[in-house]
Structure 1
Amino acid sequence: MIMTLIVVAVVSGALVLGAAWGIYGKLGKRTEGFIVALAGGALLLSVVSELIEPSIDKSSIFHAMAGVGAGAVVFAVLDYLVDEKWGSNSGGGLLAAITLDGIPENLALGVALIGAGPKEVAALAGSILLSNLPEAAGGAKSMAGGRHSKTKALWLWVATAALLSAAAIAGNLLLEGAPEEVLAVIRCFAAGAVVASLATEVFPQAFKEDRHWAGVATALGVILAFVLGSLSGG
């Protein structure tokens, strides 16, 4: 349980640090685009190697693909509704994206921590952290520059971090002993939501801000995730 709390604090803390960086620090457009693409590449590989592949191995390809498809569809529908309400340039869409994919993602993180050692969750936790930091920075920066004050924007991200922390802890406590088929669907639902968010929120933003280096940054993110994955023998 102590390891769970430590990992959750680090991963969710990245949201708060990223938001503070985006609101109060200096973050150039090209730098933001490069870092977001880097994080996107890392998370893309991690959802495949740390969520989808283990679910297929331990359950079935049917459960895994059903979860991935459901996660992508639910995210796409909710993201559309969010964009209609908040608009695409307010930063609210990215906040919603992180929340919508973050809840099942952190549930999966909590599940992954069940009976696991530090190295076994290093890849997934590290990639989520790398993703949360720049995404929060970009989203909070947009929100603070829009209709939200800097203080209100920061507190919105603090509340989001608290919600995602609760999801990870709930996943760890409530799903211990759950059938592998159920865990597989949850993991892959998270993976599907993450993939959808990468396609609609992360990579378009990265290309817009730094189109010439976004591809290189994405590849570097994949390399970094592969290195993190090697820590757990994956």
Structure 2
Amino acid sequence: MMTIIVVIIVTGALIIGAFWGIYGNMSKNLEGFLVALAGGALLVSALLELINPALEKNSIPITLAAVFAGAITFTILDYLVKEKWGSKSGGGLLAAITLDGIPENLALGVALIGAGPLSVAALSGSILLSNLPEAAGGAKEMSNNDNSKKKVLWLWIGTALILSASALLSHYLLADVPKEYLNYIKCFAGGAVVASLALEVFPKAFKKEKYWTGLATAIGLILALYLNTLGE
């Protein structure tokens, strides 16, 4: 039950963020600051919650290979969706914004396996922080590009549902996987998260709020480190 509640809250932030972006008011500077803050939190959470456990208990070469595999898989899919398929049609838009969230939600689903609420506080909190400004900024930009507000909102609702399903499926389908292999899966998800941060999050943050980006990223990192200590 805790897993379902966490997933609903985290992905529900996408819908709240989309409402905020379409009907509310968010300055570019604030959006950039929040995106950078969330990116910093996600970066350290991916390392501590997803990658580091495997480095401590599993084969180091296989662990590092799994991280790289996750990064290259996301990079290839991101290129195919956005450069080959395009993101102007409804299907393309849905695929693009869904792809950006899949690594985080896959990571959330597997991280919740056998873990207490506090041990995943940093990761789930980081994803929540990331979802709000990303959805707000993305929905605002999409609604300004000849897309109706209603269409954009439904796209983000669809995205939230798909990402919720991906998190829950990864959690329940992988629940009985031996811990050694589960650690490798977490590393794969962690590598995908790192790639998504480099391709989607930090460039967007710097574009909208240049010189505060580094500070905001450091604040996010500090928050994630503190939340991680709560699970110890």
Is TM (by shorter chain) over 0.5?
yes
Aligned residue in 1 for 2:2: 3
CA distance 1:181–1:96, change in 2 (3 Å): farther
In the TM superposition, 1:53-68 aligns within 5 A as 53-68=52-67
CA distance 1:129–1:218, change in 2 (3 Å): same
CA distance 1:220–1:23, change in 2 (3 Å): same
**Dislocated runs of 4+, deviation >4 Å:** 85-90, 92-98
Structure 1's unaligned 5+ residue stretches are none
Aligned residue in 2 for 1:175: 174
CA distance 1:217–1:185, change in 2 (3 Å): same
CA distance 1:93–1:204, change in 2 (3 Å): farther
Aligned residue in 2 for 1:99: 98
**Structure 1 position 232, deviation (Å):** 0.8
Q: Deviations over 1:89-142 (max 9, x none)?
A: 99x999656533533432332222223221111111111111111111111111
Secondary structure of residue in 1 paired with 2:145: coil
Q: Deviations over 1:121-177 (max 9, x none)?
A: 111111111111111111111111113211111111111111111112112211112
**CA–CA separation in structure 2 for the residues paired with 1:189 and 1:36:** 23
Aligned residue in 2 for 1:165: 164
Q: Deviations over 1:27-68 (max 9, x none)?
A: 111111111111111111110011100122232223321221
**CA–CA separation in structure 2 for the residues paired with 1:85 and 1:149:** 24
Bigger drift between 2-11 and 143-152 goes to 143-152
Residue 156 (str. 1) matches residue 160 (str. 2): no
Residue 45 (str. 1) matches residue 56 (str. 2): no
Bigger drift between 194-203 and 41-50 goes to 194-203
Structure 2's unaligned 5+ residue stretches are none
CA distance 1:114–1:15, change in 2 (3 Å): same
How many residue pairs get aligned? The number is 232
Contact 1:122 1:232 in 2 (8 A): yes
**CA–CA separation in structure 2 for the residues paired with 1:84 and 1:114:** 35
**CA–CA separation in structure 1 for the residues paired with 2:101 and 2:185:** 12
**Structure 1 position 229, deviation (Å):** 0.9
Residue 84 (str. 1) matches residue 116 (str. 2): no
Aligned residue in 2 for 1:12: 11
Contact 2:49 2:111 in 1 (8 A): no
Contact 1:67 1:184 in 2 (8 A): no
Aligned residue in 2 for 1:129: 128
Contact 2:106 2:166 in 1 (8 A): yes
Aligned residue in 2 for 1:145: 144
**Structure 1 position 25, deviation (Å):** 0.8
Residue 194 (str. 1) matches residue 229 (str. 2): no
**CA–CA separation in structure 2 for the residues paired with 1:19 and 1:25:** 9
Aligned residue in 2 for 1:118: 117
Secondary structure of residue in 2 paired with 1:177: coil
CA RMSD for the aligned pairs? 2.4
Secondary structure of residue in 1 paired with 2:79: helix
2:32 is matched by which residue type in structure 1? G
**CA–CA separation in structure 1 for the residues paired with 2:19 and 2:120:** 26
**CA–CA separation in structure 2 for the residues paired with 1:177 and 1:141:** 41
**CA–CA separation in structure 2 for the residues paired with 1:189 and 1:215:** 26
Contact 1:95 1:136 in 2 (8 A): no
